[in-house]
Amino acid sequence: MHIMEGFLPPLHAAAWTAASLPFVVMGARSVAKITREHPRAKLLLATSGAFAFVLSALKIPSVTGSCSHPTGTGLGAILFGPSVMAVLGAIVLLFQALLLAHGGITTLGANLFSMAIAGPWVAYGLFKLTRSLGGALAIAVFLAATLGDLATYLVTSVQLALAFPDPVSGFTGALAKFAGVFALTQIPLAIIEGLLTVIVVNLLTQYSRDELDELAFAPGGVK
């Protein structure tokens, strides 16, 4: 979930914003380097941002009366590395907060850290690990996108548990409750996102082969 406007205590909101800023700066440098060295990759960058915007804007009601949604950040992390997604994610989250009332300005830093920093780093790490162990590209993409999505929701649960510990069981009890709230809806959504990301990467290897070759990504396509 995107944490809604005004939901976090001010100190928590400020802390997550401060924690996210270095990643955004690093991501801006990465984007500048990619566009400078690989100008043909600009369309793929835009595609990655649009993919994240569309998927993360799909709010699906959960059994608790809240909502779950995919994140879409695994694609950009796989193609360009996780740093880039901090910038693309910031743009996505800002537009969603302003235009769709999805998330918020005061909670932008917290949402950015979970969806555009933690999720992409997990996705990228799993992708690289799976490929280094000889895993097929399709499997690597699926695991990266699926578990990157789940990592986002785990971090969001941690953020909420830190802000609102359970009166009896404290942080641990609150974390179990917040994580459990979305488990029934988020796990199938994460699997669907993983499958959809495999399909998109497969299409890119067919129709954007030159751009992917320039980035030295996945020679031979999805297998």
Looking at the structure of the chain, the number of domains it has is 1
pLDDT tens sequence across 31-43: 999 999 888 889 9
**Structure-model confidence comparison of residues 122 and 182, the more confident one:** 122
User: Rounded distance, CA 145 to CA 75, Å?
Assistant: 7
Q: Is residue 34 part of a domain?
A: yes
Please provide the average confidence, as pLDDT, over all residues in the chain: 89
Residue 209 pLDDT:
79
Give the pLDDT confidence score for residue 183 in this predicted structure.
Answer: 78
Residue 154 banded pLDDT, cuts 50, 70, 90: very high
CATH of residue 49's domain is 1.10.1760.20
User: pLDDT grade, residue 68 (50/70/90)?
Assistant: confident
Start-to-end CA span in the chain (Å): 32
DSSP state of 166: B
219 in a structural domain:
no
pTM: 0.91
Closest CA to 171 of 154, 152, 182, 158: 158
What pLDDT was estimated at residue 109? 96
* Phi/psi at 166 (5° precision): -65, 135
| Cβ burial, residue 186 (10 Å; 0-12/13-18/19+) | buried
Output the pLDDT for position 61: 65
Residue 219 has pLDDT above 60, yes or no: no
Domain-located, residue 222 = no
Q: Is 62 part of a structural domain of the chain?
A: yes
Indicate if the pLDDT at residue 67 is higher than 70. no
pLDDT at 62: 60
Is 210 inside a domain boundary? yes
* Distance, CA of 44 to CA of 81 (rounded, Å): 13
95 in a structural domain? yes
**What band does 220 get if pLDDT is binned at 50, 70 and 90?**
very low
Q: Is the pLDDT of residue 12 over 50?
A: yes
Residue 184 lies in a domain: yes
Choice among 4-8, 118-122, 125-129 with the minimum mean pLDDT: 4-8
Residue 75: count of CB within 10 angstroms of its CB: 31
Q: How confident is the model at residue 65 (pLDDT cuts 50, 70, 90)?
A: very low
* Residue 122 pLDDT: 97
* Residue 5 pLDDT exceeds 50: yes
pLDDT band at 66 (very low <50, low <70, confident <90, very high): low
**Helix, strand, coil tally for the chain in percent (to 5):** 75, 0, 25
- Which residues, including other chains, have CB under 8 Å from residue 161's CB and lie 6 or more apart? 171, 172, 174, 175, 177, 178
| Alpha carbon 45 to chain centroid, angstroms | 15
Mean pLDDT of 119-123: 97
On the question of pLDDT at 51 being above 80, the answer is: yes
Q: Residue 69's pLDDT is what? A: 87
Q: Give residue 116's domain range.
A: 10-214
- Give the pLDDT of residue 147: 97
CA-CA distance, 200 to 52, in Å (whole number)? 12
